[in-house]
Amino acid sequence: MEEFALIIFTICVQAAVGLILFTAIAKQLNKDGIFKTAVVAAAGLAIVGLLASFLHLGHPIAAINTLMGFATSWLSREIWFTSAFTGLTVLAALLIYFKPAAQKAINILIILAAAIGLIDVLVMASVYTSSSVAAWQSGSIVVEFYAAAISMGALLFLALSAKEDTGKMRKIVAIAVAAAFMIQAVAMIPYYNSLGGSTNLALQQSHAILSGMMPAMVLKWAAILVGAGLLFLPVKEKNKGVSLILGATALVMIGQIVGRYLFFAIKIMS
């Protein structure tokens, strides 16, 4: 149950961060763009993720104690930054619905949410890299989290904004997703392979777990690779283009979710 809540939390919040980031980029390219569906979806994902984080903390007293430790605890910082990101995103969504004419305020909120969200992803990764789990004590985890946020968020933006004028965003998203995949693969595949060569017993156990879950590992990378590749296929008809985007989004989301399951599966304390 604990890992399930953490998978929901990290996937939802990182997807929301990526989604609001690419919404902010799109708004800079298209000043008249509203992208209501994208912003509302980001707010919804952030809320679900935040609720899952409190579910993970369990007892209310434990949650309060965690919140009070901002100066010394990465977990506390994670909750505060996630709460700030969620609040800004929800406020932007509410303004779009009830006061759409306030475009300047909406744009500022979206940019602030994107900035806070990017910091939140780093803080989120730091919770794990500073933990006692040997397999998580690597900067590669930071790369994994940012790559997930960028790839999921970028594709969700395209999928949710299909009816709006996204201009050059399809090309930007294709490049961003491909780059995120390559950087993620370069950082993570050699790192996971190196676990087996370590003399650390916990790392060896984590490697053994991964070796036993090789089909899931192959599914992760294959889904992300194929999803990213779909964006580069030539499209002449708009309907086919939308179908490709939806397919790419589904594949990358599946790949990142499977990857996050594997991430928590190798949790062996050192």
> Cα 116 to the chain's mean position, in Å?
14
Lowest mean pLDDT among 21-25, 88-92, 101-105, 160-164: 160-164
Q: Give the predicted TM-score (pTM) of the model.
A: 0.93
Interval 122-142 mean pLDDT: 94
Place of tokens 């434990």: 62
According to CATH, the topology of domain 2-265 is Formate dehydrogenase/DMSO reductase fold (1.20.1630)
DSSP character string of 67-83? HTTTTT-HHHHHHHHHH
Best CA proximity match to 225, nearest among 269, 261, 268, 178? 178
What CA–CA distance (Å, rounded) separates 39 from 16? Answer: 9
In the 8-state DSSP scheme, what is residue 102? -
Residue 238 banded pLDDT, cuts 50, 70, 90: low
Which residues, 6 or more positions from 32, have their beta carbon under 8 angstroms from its beta carbon? Answer: none
Which residues, 6 or more positions from 73, have their beta carbon under 8 angstroms from its beta carbon? Answer: 66
